[in-house]
Amino acid sequence: MPFIHTQVHRDTPQAQRQGIVDGIHQALIDAIGMPQDELFNRVSAYAPGDFFYSRSFNGMARSDKLVVVEITMRRGRSDAMKRDLYARIARNLKANAGVAPDDVFIFTHENDYSDWSVGGGKFAMALVQQPGPT
C-alpha cells in the first residue's frame, strides 16, 4: 500500500489538485499493480517563500509551480517498474492536470510490512489484505 504525499503551489485550484491525485493514482495502478482502492494521498500546499529549489537542476526548466510527489511503499519494485511509474506520473499529470513534465519531482521511500499499521493500531504484517468494495 503506497502512501503518497503531494506538495503543490498554494494557488493550485482544487480541480487541478484532483487531476494530480487521479494521475498519480492511475500511474501506481498501471505501473506497479496497486489495487484500485488503495488511495492514500495527502496533498499539502506551499507558499512561494516556503519552498526553495533550483529551476534548472539536471537540465530541467522548472516553473514556480513545482509538484513534489513523495511515495512511501513496501520494498520489492524493480528499477524498471519505478522508471515506468515515474514516466506514467509525469504523463498523467500533464494530461489530467496540465502540469509540465519538468515541474514533476518524484522520490520514493521504501520499507517493509513491519513498518506499517494501516488501521486499528494493528501490525500490518498480522493482517490479511482486505480489498474494498468494487
Q: Where are the domains of the chain?
A: 3-126
**pLDDT reading at 21 higher than 60:** yes
**3-class state of residue 73 by DSSP:** strand
pTM score, whole prediction: 0.88
pLDDT, one tens digit per residue, over 29-66 is 999 999 999 999 999 999 989 999 999 999 999 999 99
Q: How many CB atoms sit inside 10 A of residue 127's CB?
A: 14
pLDDT, one tens digit per residue, over 61-90 is 999 999 999 999 989 999 999 999 999 999
Tell me what pLDDT residue 127 has: 56
From the list 53, 66, 52, the residue with the least C-alpha distance to 11 is 66
Partner residues linked to 105 by β-bridges: 68
Q: Which helix (H) or strand (E) holds 16?
A: helix 14-32
Domain 3-126 classification at class level: alpha beta
Write the Ramachandran bin of 34: left for phi over 0, alpha for psi from -120 to 50, otherwise beta. Answer: beta
Cβ–Cβ < 8 Å for 40, 81: no
Cβ–Cβ < 8 Å for 88, 27: yes
C-alpha–C-alpha distance, residues 91 and 113, integer Å: 30
pLDDT, one tens digit per residue, over 86-116 is 999 999 999 999 999 999 999 999 988 778 7
